[in-house]
Amino acid sequence: MPTLLDKRFVIVAGKGGVGRTTVAAALASAAARRGKRVLLAQTKSKERLSRLLGGPRVLSEVVRVRDRLWAVNMTPEAALREYGLMVLHSSLVYGWVFENKFAKAFIRAIPGVEDYSLLGKVWFHTTETEGGRPKYDLVILDGPATGHVLTLLQIPQAILDAVPEGPLTRDARSARELLTDPERSAMALVTLAEDMPVNETIELAEQARARIGVPLGPLIVNQLYPPRFVSGPSARALDLLPETTGEGRLDPLLQRARIAQRRRALNDRYLERLRTALPLPQVQLPYLFAPDLGVEPLEELSRRLEAQLLQLPTGSG
């Protein structure tokens, strides 16, 4: 059965602070490891991919970060320039039109033009060919936070509703068809098993279905505490012990054990809520107690993610 790694376009979406970029990088690494040619595209993000993937700094131009994996940190300015050059076929003409101060002020005043430039650039990369085949087998969008990603993905439909037939409409229709095609696209929702991220993820899923029609891929629950002291003899022993024993060396250990137990119990409660509210295939990633999330921890997450994705088909939600 096809999985998330077999799509042409994947949007990694979720609340700020849930590890969206880390999951997107892990997904890109997994796909490249399986032989896919992958482009990981970010939107105006803090530069972290060089540390996570061990490659060069990722800025506004597409750069190869490792074998079969490229990345770009898109900005509206760079995206508009690239679009202008594609349309006008001349850097000289582009300068006359887009670098004119009056034209620049007019363009920036158009509602949604910056978002359209970002989404349009990502869509264009899904259509690029090289040697008679797609340049990238998979394009991953490390999208902005929840509310903004919904606005971004609604732009093609807004253009179709507002603009007469023409080149802009043609591209918007193609982007809309890509976003709503379950064979080619999916939105992977990233969350933590905690109150606010879970609530926002449930709302994001509902809005993505209703307002965009994008197929929902797996729900990726990040930073789960290990299931220690949750059941079995260790849990029973911990429950029988008093809160404090008066032993200077034992009490700190008991305190940490109870924190781990309570955090996992909290995680389990919200995992169950997610199963009820969002019956989607679920991937679970552990909390990595690493001082710095670099290449090795990222690869560990990537392999865990890959192993779970290969066990479940990605249906639309």
CATH code assigned at 167: 3.40.50.300
Neighbours of 287 (CB within 10 A): 15
Rounded to a whole number of angstroms, the CA Rg of the chain reads 22
Phi, psi of 75 (to 5 degrees): -125, 150
Nearest 5°: the CA angle 226, 200, 41 is 85
State residue 100's pLDDT score: 55
In a domain, 139, yes or no: yes
Q: In the 8-state DSSP scheme, what is residue 310?
A: T
- Is the Cβ–Cβ distance between 22 and 222 less than 8 Å? yes
CA proximity to 214, closest of 35, 49, 13: 13
Q: What is the pTM of this model?
A: 0.86
Show the low-confidence residues of the chain (pLDDT under 70).
Answer: 1, 83-113, 167, 231, 238, 313-317
Residue 23 and residue 222 in contact, taking contact as beta carbons nearer than 8 Å: yes
Long-range contacts for 307-310 (Cβ within 8 Å, ≥24 apart)?
A: 308/283, 308/284, 309/3, 309/4, 309/5, 309/30, 309/218, 309/283, 310/3, 310/5
* Residue 257 CB contacts under 8 Å (≥ 6 apart), including other chains: 228, 229, 238
- Does any domain span residue 316? no
d(CA 33, CA 37): 9
DSSP 8-state symbol, 6: G
Write down the pLDDT at residue 68. 97
pLDDT value of position 313: 61
Inside any domain, residue 107:
yes
Q: How many residues does the chain have?
A: 317
The domain in which residue 268 lies consists of 4-309
- Quick one: pLDDT at residue 315? 46
In a domain, 315, yes or no: no
Number of structural domains found in the chain: 1
Integer angstrom CA distances of residue 138 from 120, 128, 184, 234, 290: 16, 11, 9, 45, 29
Report if residue 186 sits inside a domain.
yes
Residue 108 phi/psi, 5° resolution? -65, -20
Residue at 317 is within a domain: no
Residue with tokens 């290449």: 295
The one-character DSSP state at 5 is: G
Q: 291 lies in a domain?
A: yes
- Rounded CA separation 194/266 (Å): 7
In-domain check, residue 272: yes
